[in-house]
């Protein structure tokens, strides 16, 4: 029987397309199983001539519905048909594992097969989209890390960078706290939209007075600023926002120039030079300022790097290699890196902002000689000095046209400027030896302050926060520890900072408090930098933490809700007292400042009150019924501390002698006789036993609550038992029955018999009494009292003489 001629081909079908698809089919057929022999020759002819037969996946040709075609499976991307056979080769093994078909059914493409294939295609497409999204997020994170280098970006990565920017903006919008209508005050200042978004994310509804006064002059008028405001008023953002505003405006201006201008510039110009240099007096303050600025520039692409002493210089050099726009540091470490020729710090021709924070601390005598050297490296850009460029052996000379206009910001909590300060700036009086030129004025002029500088002084007469309650306690030098322990045990609620003027007093006080079961943190200049930073982090992490620190901790440190500041030792100046007290009552919150005044401190205390214009001051209420129990604990703690300190000093001296002998290869021999060695051993054994006895006695006292002297365990109902005392006794009995207490839990601080543990501020408001602290008023009162006594005595004499007569 002769074979039937093949049917005529459809004229609408292009033959070239069918040939191309046939080649792809041939490559696919090598891996797929053979078709059933039941296929007819007419079907084979249709496979050759119908180009959509391959897409249908079955025997019969024709079009599929749009839902049934998956672009990923057939290689169709952007409207172009790819190599179909290649896609089938990739998915062939998966199809074999998921579903095995019989030979006789392979030629039929049923509805069930189409549904399974479409579901698998949807899953593959979702997985592909998920991978792309994750890849974009990873790229965005990598870009944020290396954004400071600003290397050349190829043209084919422009779309990826745009996607990364969109994802960062989406994350920024997700973290917004305030709505767009709640930041109207920021919009009135013409703040950049990205900075407004940052304020919404940080939750700042409106600028503080110092920010509102400084931003227009600094950002829109380009003036230098000298600012002074009380502690906790937001001075960090007062100089930070103008810096961000200018950098963002310059970025937008550069982006408008287009790629042509970018191609004309060489590769070195794409690196980000140093644009802002911020100097602070202490390491902790530099770290805090850097953290605040980083929070504000989280999604702005502006790098902020801290450079402080006490940390590895190699790590800081690696940070500077990223070319950050803003550097916050202390003068010592910055000058150390500058003197070694660090390229990022030496090239100061593009420096647009120079900031001195807490400037009054930097001008103190004997401090920060490196600051003078750093200021001398700054190029002169204002007035008649703009024609010359100051050069040093380690600073590169730059043409005058490349030097940017620099703004100088000087901020502090205290401000001392003369009335004719602007005239002095115009005349160019830079020498600090002038009789009527203060140190602050000399520093401002030397830093390049222009005559039209904006002076913003928002300090009031007292320079202290409005909601700060000041008080004092009169006591002897030996009773200072007792009064401090009374405050911490009876009113130990909320964060507290205890300030000392010497490190020796700090170590003594912290040791006594730890023996008494009060866990305190310390911070002073002789600690390693990592230990100081760790101490600050722990202080921030606990709501009832206690910090014992020196005056270096009083500068600019910002903590959330510090309730009490205690001056264990009075500071040597009024400025230090202001900065100490300013650690509390921040952000319009209330706080309490307590000064412990001994007889030797009275003259200094009265002088301090006179400089702050205070005539009356509240006296902190102390219930002296608790003082005997406090003194019993304190006496034991002092004895334990004395023995422990002596033992540690002896061990330290012995270990030093042994180490020295071992390092020199010598054998250490003792010249003591056997009797002396036996006597020394007995003495050490007795001392150890006595120390254990003292620790046991103190532990027993700490296991019981602090009790007043008038408290009696026998006849509680004699005068009626208060409700508070009933609750305390019930809690005490329950704890004794359960036996859950231990000496390590500081049992005595859980509650105080007859006292509800309230904050010192509340106790002061409830029962504080005002006392006259003005020397002149006290003299006047004594004079009036003396005259009254004299008159009474004279009247008594006259009456007596009249009776006799």
| pLDDT digit string, tens, across residues 516-566 | 999 999 999 999 988 999 999 999 998 889 999 999 888 878 887 899 999
The residue whose two tokens read 């829109």 is 220
Angle at Cα 369 formed by Cα 368 and Cα 372, nearest 5°? 105
HEC string of 30-81? CCCCCCCCCCCHHHHHHHHHCCCHHHHCCCCCCCCCHHHCCHHHHCEECCEE
pLDDT band of 509, cuts 50, 70, 90: very high
Query: Is 635 inside any structural domain?
Result: no
Q: 88-97, 206-215, 357-366, 784-793: which has the minimum mean pLDDT?
A: 88-97
Q: Tell me, yes or no, whether 446 and 546 share the same domain.
A: no
**Position of tokens 């005997």?**
628
- Closest to 391 (Cα-Cα) out of 357, 349, 355, 433: 349
Spatial CB neighbours of 22, under 8 Å, sequence gap ≥ 6: 48
Average pLDDT value for residue range 742-746: 42
Helix (H/G/I), strand (E/B), else coil: 196: helix
User: Quick one: DSSP state of residue 220?
Assistant: I
* 63 pLDDT higher than 90: no
Whether the Cβ atoms of residue 592 and residue 760 lie closer than 8 Å to each other: yes
| 570-605: pLDDT as tens digits | 999 888 898 899 899 887 789 999 999 999 999 999
Q: How far apart are CA 711 and CA 668, in angstroms?
A: 59
Res 390 pLDDT > 70? no
Nearest to 460 by CA among 229, 207, 766, 162: 229
**Residue 526 contacts residue 503 (beta carbons within 8 Å):** yes
- 105 pLDDT higher than 50: no
Nearest to 348 by CA among 394, 309, 300: 394
Per-residue pLDDT band for 314 (boundaries 50, 70, 90) equals very high
Please check whether residues 298 and 405 belong to one and the same domain: yes
Q: Are residues 451 and 498 part of one domain?
A: no
From CA 670, how far away is CA 685, in angstroms rounded?
20
Last residue of a domain, one of 428, 457, 486: 457
State the CATH number of the domain containing residue 407.
3.40.50.300
Structure token digits, residue 461: 């007469």
Give whole-number Cα distances, 17 to 56, 58, 255, 425, 472, in Å.
16, 19, 47, 85, 97
Percent of the chain past pLDDT 70, that is, above it, reads 65
Residue bearing tokens 């056997």:
674
pTM of this prediction?
0.66
Residues 6 or more apart from 520 whose CB is under 8 A from it?
Answer: 498, 510, 513, 514, 546, 547, 548
| 265 vs 228 pLDDT, higher one | 228
How many Å apart are CA 219 and CA 213, to the nearest integer? 11
Residues 503 and 621 in one domain: yes
Q: Say whether both 311 and 426 belong to one domain.
A: yes
Structure tokens given for 513: 């408090």
Q: How many CB atoms are located within 10 Å of the residue 73 CB? A: 20
- The CB density around residue 619, as the number of other CB atoms within 10 Å, is 17
| The residue count for the chain | 805
Q: Is the pLDDT of residue 66 over 50?
A: no
C-alpha R_g of the chain: 40
Lowest-pLDDT range of 273-287, 634-648, 651-665: 651-665
Nearest to 506 by CA among 473, 550, 463, 536: 550
Residues 446 and 500 in one domain: no
Name which of 125, 136, 199, 205 is nearest 168 in CA terms: 136
**pLDDT value at position 419?**
65
541 and 577 fall within a common domain: yes
Query: Is 182 domain-assigned?
Result: no
Q: In angstroms, rounded to a whole number, what is the distance separating the alpha carbons of residues 321 and 333?
A: 16
Q: Which two tokens stand for residue 551?
A: 């005056």
**Is 292 within a domain?**
yes
Report the range of poorest mean pLDDT among 17-21, 352-356, 717-721.
17-21
Find how far residue 243's CA is from the centre of its chain: 19
Residue 782, pLDDT > 70, answer yes
Do 528 and 453 share a structural domain? no
Q: What is the DSSP string of 603-651?
A: HHHHHHHHHTT-SEEEEPP--GGGHHHHHHHHHHHHHHHHHHHHHHHHH
- What is d(CA 76, CA 207) in angstroms, rounded to the nearest whole number? 55
Domain count of the chain? Answer: 4
Q: Please indicate, yes or no, whether residues 340 and 379 belong to a single structural domain of this protein.
A: yes
Kindly tell me if the per-residue pLDDT of 211 is higher than 60.
yes
**CB under 8 Å to 53, separation ≥6 — which residues?**
46, 47, 59, 60, 61
Residues ≥6 apart with Cβ < 8 Å to 533:
284, 287
Lowest mean pLDDT among 217-226, 407-416, 642-651, 703-712: 703-712
Residue found by looking up tokens 């209420």 in the block: 621
Q: Write down the mean pLDDT value for the chain.
A: 75
Q: Are residues 426 and 534 in the same domain?
A: no
* Residue 20 forms part of a structural domain: yes
DSSP state of 326: E
- Top pLDDT among 2 and 682 is at 682
Query: Has residue 151 been placed in a domain?
Result: no
- Taking the CA of residue 625 as centre, how many other CA atoms within 13 Å lie in the half-sphere pointing to its CB? 12
> Considering the domain boundaries, does residue 299 fall inside one?
yes
Tell me whether residue 768 is in a domain. Answer: no
The last residue of a domain, from among 47, 74, 100: 100
Separation of CA 679 from chain center = 56
Residues 384 and 476 in one domain: no
Instruction: Select the more confidently predicted residue: 305 or 794.
Output: 305
Element (H, E) at 533: helix 529-541
pLDDT (0 to 100) of residue 787: 87
Q: Hey, which of 1-5, 102-106, 219-223 has the most confident mean pLDDT?
A: 219-223
Per-residue confidence (pLDDT) for residue 785, from 0 to 100:
86
Q: Which domain holds residue 23?
A: 15-100
| Two tokens, residue 640 | 């334990």
Does 515 have pLDDT greater than 60? yes
Residue 562, SS3?
A: strand
Chain centre to alpha carbon of residue 296: 12
Residue 276 burial (CB < 10 Å; 0-12/13-18/19+)? Answer: buried
Domain check: are 479 and 594 in the same one?
Answer: yes
Is 301 within the bounds of a domain? yes
**285 vs 281, 444, 554, CA distance in Å?**
7, 21, 9
Last residue of a domain, one of 100, 130, 160: 100
For residue 229, what pLDDT is reported? 84
């Amino acid at each position: 029987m002769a074979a039937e001629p093949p049917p005529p081909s459809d004229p609408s079908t292009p033959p070239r397309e069918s040939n191309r698809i046939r080649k792809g089919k041939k490559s696919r057929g090598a891996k797929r199983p053979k078709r059933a022999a039941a296929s007819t020759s007419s079907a084979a002819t249709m496979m050759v001539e119908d180009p959509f037969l391959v897409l249908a996946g079955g025997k019969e040709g024709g079009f599929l519905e749009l839902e049934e075609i998956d672009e990923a499976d057939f290689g169709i991307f952007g409207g172009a048909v790819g190599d179909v056979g290649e896609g089938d080769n990739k998915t062939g093994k998966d199809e074999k594992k998921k579903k095995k078909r019989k030979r006789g059914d392979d030629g039929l493409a049923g509805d069930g097969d189409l549904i399974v294939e479409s579901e698998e295609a949807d899953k593959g497409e979702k997985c592909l989209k998920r991978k792309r999204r994750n890849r974009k997020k990873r790229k965005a994170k990598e870009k944020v890390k290396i954004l400071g280098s600003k290397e050349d970006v190829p043209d084919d990565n422009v779309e990826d960078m745009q996607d990364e920017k969109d994802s960062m903006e989406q994350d920024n919008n997700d973290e917004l706290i305030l709505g767009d209508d709640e930041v109207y005050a920021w919009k009135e200042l013409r703040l950049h939209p990205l900075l407004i978004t940052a304020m919404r994310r940080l939750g700042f509804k409106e600028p503080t007075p110092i920010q509102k006064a400084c931003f227009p002059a600094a950002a829109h008028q380009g003036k230098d600023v000298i600012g002074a405001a009380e502690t906790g008023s937001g001075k960090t953002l007062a100089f930070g926002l103008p810096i961000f505003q200018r950098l963002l405006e310059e970025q937008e201006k550069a982006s408008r120039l287009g790629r042509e201008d970018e191609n004309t510039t060489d590769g070195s110009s794409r690196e980000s030079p140093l644009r802002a240099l911020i100097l602070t007096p202490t390491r902790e303050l530099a770290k805090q300022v850097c953290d605040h600025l980083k929070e504000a520039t989280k999604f702005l692409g502006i790098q902020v790097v801290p450079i402080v002493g006490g940390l590895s210089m190699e790590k800081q050099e690696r940070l500077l290699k990223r070319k950050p726009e803003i550097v916050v540091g202390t003068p010592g470490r910055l000058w150390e890196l500058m003197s070694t020729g660090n390229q990022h710090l030496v090239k100061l021709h593009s420096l647009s902002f120079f900031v001195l924070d807490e400037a009054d601390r930097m001008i103190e005598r004997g401090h920060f000689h490196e600051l003078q050297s750093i200021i001398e490296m700054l190029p002169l850009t204002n007035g008649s000095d703009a024609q010359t460029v100051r050069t040093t052996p380690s600073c590169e000379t730059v043409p005058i046209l490349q030097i940017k206009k620099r703004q100088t910001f000087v901020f502090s909590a205290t401000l001392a400027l003369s009335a004719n300060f602007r005239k002095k700036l115009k005349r160019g009086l830079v020498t600090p030896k002038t009789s009527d030129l203060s140190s602050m004025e000399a520093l401002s002029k030397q830093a390049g302050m222009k005559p039209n500088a904006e002076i913003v002084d928002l300090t009031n007469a007292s320079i202290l926060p409005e909601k700060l309650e000041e008080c004092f306690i009169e006591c002897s030098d030996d009773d200072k520890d007792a009064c401090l322990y009374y405050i911490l045990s009876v009113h130990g609620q909320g964060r507290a900072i205890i300030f000392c003027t010497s490190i020796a007093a700090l170590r003594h006080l912290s040791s006594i408090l730890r023996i008494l079961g009060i866990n305190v943190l310390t911070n002073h200049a002789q600690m390693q930098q990592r230990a100081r930073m760790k101490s600050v982090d722990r202080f921030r992490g606990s709501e009832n933490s206690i910090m014992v620190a020196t005056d270096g901790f009083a500068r600019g440190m910002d903590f959330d809700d510090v309730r009490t500041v205690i001056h264990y030792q009075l500071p040597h100046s009024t400025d230090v007292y202001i900065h100490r007290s300013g650690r509390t009552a921040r952000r319009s919150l209330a706080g309490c400042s307590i000064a412990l005044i001994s007889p030797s401190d009275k003259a200094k205390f009265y002088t301090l009150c006179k400089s702050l214009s205070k005539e009356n001051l509240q006296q902190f209420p102390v219930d002296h019924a608790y003082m005997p129990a406090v003194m019993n604990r304190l006496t034991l703690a002092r004895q334990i501390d004395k023995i422990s300190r002596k033992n540690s000093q002896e061990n330290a001296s012995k270990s030093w002698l042994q180490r020295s002998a071992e390092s020199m290869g010598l054998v250490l021999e003792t010249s003591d006789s056997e009797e002396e060695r036996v006597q020394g051993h007995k003495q050490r054994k007795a001392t150890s036993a006595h120390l254990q006895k003292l620790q046991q006695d103190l532990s027993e006292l700490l296991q019981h609550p602090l009790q007043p002297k008038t408290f009696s365990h026998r006849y509680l109902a004699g005068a009626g038992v208060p409700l508070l005392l009933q609750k305390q006794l019930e809690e005490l009995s329950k704890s004794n029955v359960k036996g859950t207490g231990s000496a390590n839990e500081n049992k005595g601080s859980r509650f105080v018999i007859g006292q509800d543990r309230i904050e010192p501020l509340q106790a002061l408001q409830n029962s504080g009494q005002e006392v006259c602290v003005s020397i002149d008023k006290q003299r006047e009162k004594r004079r009036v009292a003396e005259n009254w006594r004299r008159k009474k005595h004279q009247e008594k004499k006259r009456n007596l003489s009249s009776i006799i007569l």
